[in-house]
Structure 1
Amino acid sequence: MLSTTLCLLFFLLCLKTAFSSSLHLCSHEEAAALLQFKTSFPIDYTVCYTNYSKTESWKEGIDCCSWDGVSCDNVTGHVIALDLSSDCLSGTFPSNSTLFLLKNLKSLNLSFNDFRFSEIPPEISQFTRLKHLDISHSEFSGQVPAEIAHLSKLVSLNLSDLLSFEYDNIVVSSLGNLILETTTLRNLVQNLSEVRELVLSGVNMTSVNPRFFMNLSSSLTTLDLSYTVLGGNFPNSIFHLPNLKNFYLDGSFGERNLTIDLPSSNWSSPLQQLYLHDVDCGRRLPESIGDLKSLQSLSLFYCNLEGSIPTSIGNLSELTSLNLAINQFSGPIPASIGNLRQLTSLHLSCNQFSGPILASIGNLTQLTSLGLSSNNLSGQIPSSLANLTQLTYLSLSYNQFSGPIPFHAIRFSKLSELDLSYNLLNGTLPPWIFTLPLLEYLYLNHNQFQGQINQFQENSLTWLDLSNNKLQGSIPNSIANLVNLSYLDLSSNHFSDLVEADMFSALQNLEIIFRSDNNLSLRMNANANFTLPKLTYVSFSSCNLSEFPNFLRHSNGLQNLMLSKNSIHGNIPEWICEKDDLEILDLSHNNLMGKIPNCLPKFLSVLNLQANYFDGNIPRWICEKDDLEILDLSHNNLIGKIPNRLPKFLSVLNLQANYFDGNIPFGFLEFCVLQNLNLHGNQMDGLLPRSLVNCSMLEVLDVGNNSIEDTFPHWLESLPDLQVLVLRSNKFHGSVQSTKESPSFPKLRVLDLSSNYFVGALPVRYIENFNAMMDPHKDGNLDRIQ
């Protein structure tokens, strides 16, 4: 009997399969609608990450249910799902698209295409059976249509419009072009009674009141509100939803503060991912956080939390990622964190933690990323960190760790970034640091390390900073083998060596280089013929240079060039004028001479030629360079009159210790952003120009040691930021006393009136706020001031 029944069931199954296979599943109307939709959007492979589009398989005469991305109902043959994600579709999305003829669609995915900033058509409401809608990252713009709230059967809705791009090796996210209004949101929340996933990241919600999220469906499992420009108080009832697993809330880009109170009890027990970024979370992390037994990722980044981390954090046995960076947590790092054996990422940077790192952190053997930088941690680095053999990232910078690096044997074979900078570490650099096979970034700067640098055994480094230590001896020649190096800083040590410039010839990826403030001598090979095409920043200060490094001649992307405190002689080479990207040029404290060239780079913002032997006048090009912000020509042999027109946006002008004569010009002071004006030690005469009152940001004014003949400049009292006023050794005369009785010179710290012809009493109100004051009787001056 049983065998007969089984045979009958098998027969019926075969019959159904044969019937189904003979059925032409896709209707002619729906196939035609899809083909018409295909012709509406040319394929553009530049807007996607593949070289294949699903619509290429769509051919007339072939059952559309067999087309890529198309799914049909096995019984009716209707198209019920369409997945064209990342399909390289490009073009505007029309409101009369034939796609809306597919009335039986239950799932539609158009994500990661390029619809050229089209608005989402209101006709989308015609998909009355739709349960899954994903139109994220497809370059839609404008207001989300109110009609989208009519899709009451939606189980998942993804409108994510978050824009992400890479800048300087950092992924940056920004707001998209979609706007969600309050009314639409309110209707969405009310009508989507079955929704489980709601993803709105990157959607502009500036006008939305967060209280409308109070009525979200109890079936909700995922809510993503990252980068939505929300503001105000977000209801913490979200944490009581019975099925919530993933919650992302981000206050970045918002003009209004976004706040949410972390509950003291009754958390949603299934919660697995909790991400709050740039949100005020109510000051304290409650002890109840330890009740979230299912939590796998906890990120409360920049949430204004303070006090200590509750020890209950150690109860989160499933936690793999913990990020509490940029808060105000204080006290010791709790030992209970050592119980989180599943952690792969731990970031507590930018807080106020104090005391030592407890040895229990060595229990976290699954860690791949550990960030404890910018705290007040002290003591020695625990040797138990050597247990963390899976680490790829380790940062302990900006703390107060002391003593040597404690590891004698190391197994950090996967480490790609090591940052121990800005501490009090000492001793020699352990040899293992120079043998790490995957190390790309090494920051040991601003410590007290001594001894020599070992030879590098690997060439994986792209960033090397050993500056501001007490390292000695020679520069290892193995640096020449670091062909991936883009940043090199060995400045402010005690190296003593003769370095051949040819050492750099193989470093074709080098962008930034510092070798200043050592006892190094850099020797140029006259026959050297190499260039470093990617160089943007060069500092060879105090390197005993006697000439310009010729390998810089063809570094056309150079932005900063600092060759101060050398013995470079002769003229500035003409090729400097060709550096169109150069913004900072510092040639101070050299033996340069002759006239300042008639041309220099057109985008220059800082020019420092201090302490050389330049002569002649200020060239005309300087007068016309409005981009120039800092100009220091002090301690030279320049002559003539200061031009009446100088760069409009100058903030620092230092012309002291030259031979300029005539009146101080006033034309360039009419529009004035100067913060520092120093004309000390010239031969200026005439009056102090009244137009200085236009320089409302002026902090330092020094016209000492000239021949200016004027009365005391009471009119400078109104400058709100003036801190230093030096009038010494001129021909100022008359009374310093003012008829005004109101407070004046509110920030003045230094006042030097010596060697003038003032008479009468010095007003007490001028000096009552002084923190530093020059001796008014220096050189026997001010003998007539009572």
Structure 2
Amino acid sequence: MASSLYHLKFVYLLSFLSTFHLIATRSFSSVRPLCRGDERSYLLQFKDSFVIDKSASSEPWAYPKVASWTLEGKNNDCCSWDGVECDEFTGHVIGLDLNSSCLYGSINSTSSLFHLVHLQRLNLADNHFKYSQIPSTVSNLSKLTHLDLSSSAFASQIPLEVSQLSQLSSLNLSGNAYLELKKPSLRSLVENLTFLEKLDLREVEIISMVPNILANLSSLTSLRLCDCRLYGEFPVGIFKLPNLRVLDMRQNEGLTGHLPDFQSSSTLEIMNLAKTNFSGKLPASIGNLGSLTKILMWGCNFSGFIPSSLGNLTRLNSLDLSYNTYKGRIPSSFGNLVHLSSLYLTSNEFTSPIPSELANLTQLTALNLGHNKFVGRIPSSIFNLTNLEFLSLSDNYFSGTVEFDKFVKLKKLTTLYLSNNQISLLESETNANRTHQKFVGIGLSRCNLSKFPNFLANQNELELLNLQGNNIHGQVPDWVWNMSKESLKSINLFDNFLTSLGQHPILLPWTNLAILDLSFNNIQGSLPIPSSSTLQYHASHNSFIGKISELICNLSSLQVLELSKNNLSGPLPQCLHSFGDSLVILDIQRNKLEGSIPQSWANGSKLMIIDFSQNKFQGWLPRSLAKCIALKALDLSNNQFNDTFPSWLGNLSNLKILILRSNKFYGPIKIHRVNYELQIVDLSYNSFTGMLPVELFQNSNSSRFDRAYHLSYIQVYSSFTANLSYQIFEFQYEYNFAMMMTNKGVDTIYEKVQEIFKALDFSSNRFAGDIPESIGNIKVLRLLNLSNNILTGHIPTTLGNLAELESLDLSQNKLVGEIPQQLTQLTFLESFNVSHNDLVGLIPQGKQFNTFQNNSFEGNSKLCGNPLLKKCKYYEVLPPLPSTSKKSHDLGSPLQFGWRSVTIGYGFGLLVGVTIGHIVIARNHEWLMKTFGVRQLVPGRKV
């Protein structure tokens, strides 16, 4: 009885305590404590250490949250301030969210922020901290579970103290391009962060292998390490982390690896390996990843066939396998991917047929099958994809006639690329004017068009138009100049049959144009000038006439200017030097331009190619060209420049090609310092005097070309990224340097110049003296032309070291002596000319020398032997007589006995005997026995 009573009292007590706790909790929660005074002070100090600058945050919704931090009125409770979170019981500040708050200024280790030791969540993303270092006192915030410092202009090394924040479950330091993680390493950073669920270090420069320790972080749900310059084999165990949902390793081109066999228990939702060096095949087990919504593996080294099991991933909304070497057919099981909104398979080796099941993908907005091997007609199933906004079928082998009206039925379609197939695109005359669909991108290169498509006349939102390589003849329609005036960024009319631009304005109307390509037509009239926004202007291979307008100097952002092979005349605009630092390529060759070159090129720091060849330029070269520190090739050939050698270019360490051919350059070449390693030098047809400029090729002895560049050319790339409304589009332009040189006696045009090609042409000047022995050190020299000078002395035997030499011209000089036998070692020599010198002796025989004709040696009266008709006499083929020693006059000399044996044994008469005796003096008695079968006389015996 007593025990029951006791038990009942105990139950009542528990009930009372429970009720009291509930009442107390409700009471306390209804009266939230004010923030701590010291912490309020820390927050205000932190606010005052920055200025508010809207440009410090990039997000459109950014606003200064700290503007509400004030003590005025009733706003002295910091727990009510914007971005501040307090503990509801203690009042301590436990959260600070200043994401996109327009803060600008440095942050250091003495910042009051690090006195808020109760902070659990800190977000300073999308501000600008002036490239200051993350302070080491961040370790004071030992209770942090979430730290986000992304995109806030932090720089330098991530301090080791971050690794001491052992409670972190989320760490985001991404988007700080100048942030490094080297000491400590990635391994040192994460080995103590055992509770990590999310790690984001995108764009942090790490430069290391991916540590295996990451595969031990069993709580990890998101790992983002893209663009960190990681390398080496990716730990396969990371794929098998039990809670991993997001894996983003893209843009680590040194990172290798392969995909494992996946289990159905995998939680992966996003797998992004784009632009890595992952390789191998897609395993059939990829079909087990039922949670996947995105597979982005473009720009890798994957190969083989696509497994049909990929069709099991019915949650996929984005699939990008572009820029690999997948082959075979697209599996019909792709028809199961009914939630797919984007499908990118471009630049692989897929073949036909395209499965009709793709018609099931009614949610598709973007479909790119370009750069594959599809053949036949464009499949009709594509025209059922009514939600398509972007469609590219370019660069395949589709054929037949295609009606443009079928694409118009895809009402949401704004981007259509059909370029570079074998199709003929037909436009209905009746429907063309009724096409109200607004396109953003149109690519119809090589679609057998005979005129400008009429539907373009109604387009006012077009950003990209490519009509390259069609059969469009005659005049550009006038309506073109009213088309998409404010939106057009690129128009390509390259390689058509246009003859006139019609009544075009001198200043073209497209205010945001980036690329204008009119090249390879036959357009006549004055040269149009694009807007100041233009980055690339190509108008070569036309018939433009007249002067270049001064308006061209408004193109302050221009990267490429190609006006070559026209009929432009008059002087260059004197403002041409005012082009900004952006200009990379300036090619105005083969026109009729005249006058002097503008004398100031102070802004040419990015110029890599300058080609002024085949014009009528005169006067001195502008000394300010020496400021073009990136200059790789300078071609001034076939003009009327009248100047001394530009030795002041000697500091241009990138200069590879210098062509001054056919001008009026004069005087000796004096060079004090040479920092460049010239690959091609052509000084021919000028009036240079003095000795050959040894200094020009002292730095050309490198043999690196033996090991590299065998398949590469002298090229310059110009690229930029345009934010088109439908995608980010990267425009790339590859400029191949071309030149003309005399090779094997023929003026040869090189449309491309290999990096391995080395050539020296000093011909048709007045160089004197000997040929330097050091020329033989240029191991990979292909062409050497020293003809038509007044060179003297012997041909250096060191020329036999030029194992790659294909053409050697030493003609029309005053060279003496014999042709070195060592030249027969030049097994690649196809052209050889030593005519019109004073050479003597036997022409070397064998190998390549058996292929040379008479004219290679004519004008040397003392040369003999094949291929000349003149045969050599005995004394013409012998080396010079050595000095006679005393021993040769002794009675017992074997040479003396040899003389007697010839005189007595052969008895050809005195003259012949003396001649053969001369041979014997020059040779030893073993040679005598071998050649004539005569024994040496032994004293005491008779013959």
Query: What TM-score comes out, normalization by structure 2 length?
Result: 0.67
Corresponding residue for residue 875 of structure 2? none
Q: Deviation at 1:373?
A: 2.4
Write the distance in 2 (CA, Å) between the matches of 1:231 and 1:620: 46
| Cα 1:657/1:339, change in 2 over 3 Å | same
Corresponding residue for residue 909 of structure 2? none
Corresponding residue for residue 461 of structure 1? 439
- State whether structure 2 residue 259 is matched by structure 1 residue 261: no
- State whether structure 2 residue 312 is matched by structure 1 residue 333: no
1:590-612: per-residue Cα shift (whole Å, max 9, x none)? 33344555553433654444443
Q: Deviation at 1:31?
A: 4.6
Query: What TM-score comes out, normalization by structure 1 length?
Result: 0.79
Q: Deviation at 1:706?
A: 4.7
Q: 2:645 aligns with which of 652, 655, 665?
A: 665
Q: 2:562 aligns with which of 551, 565, 586?
A: 586
Write the distance in 1 (CA, Å) between the matches of 2:253 and 2:597: 54
- State whether structure 2 residue 521 is matched by structure 1 residue 447: no
Other structure's SS at 1:226 match: coil
Q: 2:657 aligns with which of 663, 675, 689?
A: 675
Match for 2:697: what amino acid?
V
1:206-257: per-residue Cα shift (whole Å, max 9, x none)? 2334554784565443333433333444343533544332233346346xx3
Native 8 Å contact 2:320 2:343 kept in 1: yes
Corresponding residue for residue 496 of structure 1? 473
Q: 2:215 aligns with which of 235, 239, 252?
A: 239
Other structure's SS at 1:305 match: strand
Q: Deviation at 1:56?
A: 1.0
Q: 1:160 aligns with which of 156, 163, 173?
A: 173
Write the distance in 1 (CA, Å) between the matches of 2:147 and 2:602: 58
Other structure's SS at 1:229 match: coil
Write the distance in 2 (CA, Å) between the matches of 1:531 and 1:8: 83
Corresponding residue for residue 485 of structure 1? 462
Other structure's SS at 2:383 match: coil
Q: Deviation at 1:518?
A: 1.0
Write the distance in 1 (CA, Å) between the matches of 2:134 and 2:584: 46
Write the distance in 1 (CA, Å) between the matches of 2:585 and 2:830: 30
Q: Deviation at 1:122?
A: 5.0
| Cα 1:544/1:99, change in 2 over 3 Å | closer
Q: Deviation at 1:689?
A: 4.7
Write the distance in 2 (CA, Å) between the matches of 1:298 and 1:47: 32
Q: 1:744 aligns with which of 783, 802, 812?
A: 802
Native 8 Å contact 2:293 2:317 kept in 1: yes
Write the distance in 2 (CA, Å) between the matches of 1:623 and 1:756: 40
State the Cα RMSD in Å. 4.5
| Cα 1:275/1:292, change in 2 over 3 Å | farther
Other structure's SS at 2:340 match: coil
Other structure's SS at 2:552 match: helix
5 Å matches for 1:277-676? 277=250, 278=252, 283-286=257-260, 288-407=261-380, 410-431=383-404, 432-452=406-426, 455=432, 457=435, 460-467=438-445, 469-508=446-485, 509-525=487-503, 531-550=509-528, 552=529, 555-595=531-571, 598=574, 600-603=576-579, 605-614=584-593, 618-619=596-597, 621=599, 629-636=608-615, 638=616, 647-648=625-626, 651-655=632-636, 660=640, 665=645, 667=647, 670-671=650-651, 673-675=655-657
| Cα 1:335/1:757, change in 2 over 3 Å | farther
Moved more, 294-303 or 242-251: 242-251
Q: Deviation at 1:442?
A: 3.6
Moved more, 500-509 or 310-319: 500-509
Other structure's SS at 1:493 match: coil
Corresponding residue for residue 913 of structure 2? none
Match for 2:657: what amino acid?
Q
| Cα 1:757/1:415, change in 2 over 3 Å | farther
Native 8 Å contact 1:81 1:106 kept in 2: yes
Match for 2:827: what amino acid?
E
Native 8 Å contact 1:250 1:279 kept in 2: no
Match for 1:562: what amino acid?
H
Native 8 Å contact 1:661 1:684 kept in 2: no
| Cα 1:31/1:372, change in 2 over 3 Å | same
Q: 1:56 aligns with which of 53, 68, 81?
A: 68
Corresponding residue for residue 768 of structure 1? 827
How many positions carry a matched residue from both structures?
734
1:535-561: per-residue Cα shift (whole Å, max 9, x none)? 3432222443322245x27x2334433
1:2-34: per-residue Cα shift (whole Å, max 9, x none)? 9xx999988985675356535755455555554
Native 8 Å contact 1:541 1:563 kept in 2: yes
Native 8 Å contact 2:527 2:545 kept in 1: no
- State whether structure 2 residue 31 is matched by structure 1 residue 17: no
5 Å matches for 1:95-244? 102=116, 104-127=118-141, 129-141=143-155, 144=158, 151-152=165-166, 154-163=167-176, 174-176=177-179, 204-212=180-188, 215=191, 219-244=195-220
5 Å matches for 1:692-703? 692-693=696-697, 696=700, 699=757, 701=759
Moved more, 233-242 or 712-721: 712-721
| Cα 1:83/1:501, change in 2 over 3 Å | same
Corresponding residue for residue 56 of structure 2? 47
1:464-509: per-residue Cα shift (whole Å, max 9, x none)? 3323x24122111332333233332212222234313541234223
Moved more, 306-315 or 531-540: 531-540
Q: 1:684 aligns with which of 686, 694, 699?
A: 686
Match for 2:476: what amino acid?
V
Write the distance in 1 (CA, Å) between the matches of 2:496 and 2:759: 34
Native 8 Å contact 1:680 1:706 kept in 2: no
Gap runs ≥5 in structure 2: 1-7, 664-683, 701-754, 834-847, 868-943
Q: Give the greater-gyration-radius structure (CA).
A: 2
Q: Deviation at 1:423?
A: 2.7
Identity %: 31
Q: Deviation at 1:339?
A: 1.9
Write the distance in 2 (CA, Å) between the matches of 1:74 and 1:641: 83
Write the distance in 1 (CA, Å) between the matches of 2:344 and 2:88: 53
Native 8 Å contact 2:577 2:600 kept in 1: no
Write the distance in 2 (CA, Å) between the matches of 1:84 and 1:440: 39
| Cα 1:302/1:750, change in 2 over 3 Å | farther
| Cα 1:130/1:699, change in 2 over 3 Å | closer
Native 8 Å contact 2:776 2:798 kept in 1: no
Native 8 Å contact 2:347 2:371 kept in 1: yes
Gap runs ≥5 in structure 1: 164-173, 177-203
Native 8 Å contact 1:535 1:557 kept in 2: yes
Other structure's SS at 1:312 match: helix
| Cα 1:218/1:601, change in 2 over 3 Å | closer
